[in-house]
Amino acid sequence: MITKQKNYWNLRYTREKCIWGEEPSGFSKICEKDFQDKDFRDILVVGCGYGRNAEYFNSKGYHVMGIDVSEEAIELARQRQKHVTSHCVLDYEICAIEKFSPNKKFDVIYGFNIIHLFYDSKLRHNVYSKMKEWLNPQGYCYFCAMSTKDRSYGKGKCWGEDIYESKPGRIIKYFGEISLASDLSRYFKVEKLFLHIEIENHGGSEHEHDLVAAICRTGRNE
């Protein structure tokens, strides 16, 4: 799975470069507003891509580590990093999430449209278990994933329950609010679930994606 994901994203970043533009995702702005009510300092951005969301958090005064399996993505991120003026730490590492072994713990793990790429349930839950260990005692996770309400749901080859290859080479596990809460609650206390519409402009046109999002903290739902 790691090799397939790496090849898919390396090819996309080689061809399309900064695929989703220069601006951070709308979801990252929602999350950063929530950060302001909490005493956060260190953020891990998993599947950071070319760094647009990592840069955004860094510009707001947070120390940020970004990891991604794609060498092409991290090369783009490091090129962009040369123009970053923040005095806070911003660092990147080429690494598959399931292979990551940090030497510190984080206040936040942020994953924008990442967990749905772990369509294999066993691997996805292994990743959750690792993430739990990477968090500080009062740490939080902010995740969003493709919703079963998204227009791409049900398209392409079906690989299992709510799992579709909606683009060639990109297999996704789609979630509803209930299924995402169930998925996460074995490892974290789910504090908030909500639907989020992300507006993107790539591939020649502006379009929307229906996402389901979760804010979780260390601990488990009772």
What pLDDT score does 222 carry? Answer: 54
Q: Which domain holds residue 18?
A: 2-218
What pLDDT score does 115 carry? Answer: 97
Residue type at 87?
H
Domain count, the chain: 1
**Per residue, what are the HEC states of 80-140?**
HHCCCCCCCCEEEEECCHHHCCCCCCEEEEEEECCHHHCCCHHHHHHHHHHHHHHEEEEEE
Give the CA diameter of the chain. 47
CATH number of the domain bearing residue 202: 3.40.50.150
Tokens of 66: 């970004």
**pTM assigned to the model:** 0.96
**C-beta of residue 202 within 8 angstroms of C-beta of residue 49:** no
What pLDDT score does 86 carry? Answer: 87
**pLDDT tens digits for the chain (222 residues)?**
778 889 999 999 999 999 999 999 999 999 999 999 899 999 999 999 999 999 999 999 999 999 999 999 999 999 999 988 888 999 999 999 999 999 999 999 999 999 999 999 999 999 999 999 999 999 999 999 999 999 999 999 999 999 999 999 999 999 999 999 999 999 999 999 999 999 998 767 889 999 999 999 997 655
In this structure, are strands 106-112 and 42-46 parallel, antiparallel, or unpaired? parallel
> At 210, is the secondary structure helix, strand, or coil?
strand
